[in-house]
């Protein structure tokens, strides 16, 4: 079982460059998330997707866009990277849907360490 | 809407107990607890639900005060393996999909 897979694991960008972080889960989960983790700030929600075709903003969405390509995949795009976006990015998924117990935990990918210079 | 955790850091000796607190200003449906080791992804420990149901870890317990929107994680007879950063995650009643995490509590257990 792969669980939640993120690519790449490491990336260095120059200011102004763009890139897409990829996330895929094989657990048939409906809900998917992107968080960023900075020292002393914990995990902050960037965007989430409750189901295929829907996305919603979290706490810190500025500078990011997302796409829920299908049920398995949820990508995060930085259109014009800034040094303030240097962080570790985590993708997560949960099984939430009508008719299922609404008490399921989130599973996290291994993270993408992004440095913007 | 990010939940507030306290304390920020705890240092224990093996066998000692610790309590980590989490509070929210919003009405909660569930509280989730995770532990993260350095350089790794957060790992699930426990969920507490509105209404009292919980499931989780055999040596770690937690409580959820629905009236105060507060949760506490209890680590008893701590082991070296308990070291890491603990995060609480909260999902609101009005939107269970929106899950936010606190800033974390760094726990260090020394021999």
> Which residue would you say has higher pLDDT here, B54 or A110?
A110
Residues B99 and B57: their CA atoms lie apart, in Å, by 21
Does position A110 have pLDDT exceeding 70, yes or no?
yes
Across the interface, whether the CB atoms of B42 and A108 are under 8 A apart is answered: yes
Cα nearest neighbour of B89 on chain A: A43
Res A99: pLDDT: 47
Does position A115 have pLDDT exceeding 80, yes or no?
yes
Which residues in chain B come in under a pLDDT of 70?
51-58
Query: A94: closest CA among A30, A17, A4?
Result: A30
Residues A9 and A7: their CA atoms lie apart, in Å, by 5
Q: Which two tokens stand for residue A2?
A: 């792969």
Residues B6 and B10: their CA atoms lie apart, in Å, by 10
Q: Looking at the complex, report in whole angstroms how far the Cα of residue A25 sits from the nearest Cα belonging to chain B.
A: 15
Res A46: pLDDT: 98
Please provide the DSSP assignment of B55-69 as one string.
EE-SSEEEEEETTTT
Does position A1 have pLDDT exceeding 80, yes or no?
no
Most B CBs within 10 Å: which of A103, A104, A111, as the mutation test of the B interface?
A: A103
Res A103: pLDDT: 59
Res B30: pLDDT: 86
Give the model's confidence band at A69: pLDDT under 50 very low, under 70 low, under 90 confident, else very high.
confident
Q: Is A48 on the interface with B (CB under 8 A)?
A: yes
Q: Within 13 Å of residue A34, how many CA atoms lie on the same side as its CB?
A: 32
Residues A78 and A14: their CA atoms lie apart, in Å, by 12
Does position A98 have pLDDT exceeding 70, yes or no?
no
Give the model's confidence band at A59: pLDDT under 50 very low, under 70 low, under 90 confident, else very high.
very high
Give the DSSP letter of residue A98.
Answer: T
Does position A84 have pLDDT exceeding 60, yes or no?
yes
Segment holding B48, helix H or strand E? strand B43-49
Q: Which two tokens stand for residue A38?
A: 């900075």
> Which residue would you say has higher pLDDT here, B28 or A11?
A11
Res A100: pLDDT: 47
Contacts with B, A 63-92, CB within 8 Å: 90
Q: Which of B1, B30, B87 sits opposite A59 (nearest CB)?
A: B1
């Amino acid at each position: 079982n792969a669980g939640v897979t993120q690519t790449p694991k490491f990336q260095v960008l120059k200011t102004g460059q763009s890139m897409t972080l990829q996330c895929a889960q094989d657990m048939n989960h409906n809900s998917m998330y992107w968080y960023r983790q900075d020292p002393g700030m914990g995990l902050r929600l960037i965007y989430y997707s409750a189901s295929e075709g829907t996305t919603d903003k979290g706490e810190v969405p500025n500078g990011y866009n997302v796409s829920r390509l299908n049920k398995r995949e949820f990508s995060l795009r930085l259109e014009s990277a800034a040094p303030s976006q240097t962080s570790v990015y985590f993708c997560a998924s949960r099984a939430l849907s009508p008719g299922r117990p609404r008490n399921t935990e989130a599973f996290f990918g291994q993270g993408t360490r992004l440095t913007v210079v | 809407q990010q939940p507030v955790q306290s304390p920020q850091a705890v240092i224990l000796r093996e066998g000692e107990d610790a309590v980590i607190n989490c509070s929210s200003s919003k009405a909660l449906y569930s509280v989730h607890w995770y532990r993260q080791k350095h350089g790794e992804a957060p790992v699930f420990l426990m969920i507490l639900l509105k209404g009292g149901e919980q499931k989780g870890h055999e040596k770690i317990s937690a409580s959820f005060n629905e009236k105060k929107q507060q949760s506490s994680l209890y680590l008893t007879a701590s082991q070296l393996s308990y070291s890491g950063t603990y995060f609480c995650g909260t999902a609101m009643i009005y939107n269970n999909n929106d899950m936010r995490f606190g800033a974390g509590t760094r726990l260090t257990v020394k021999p």
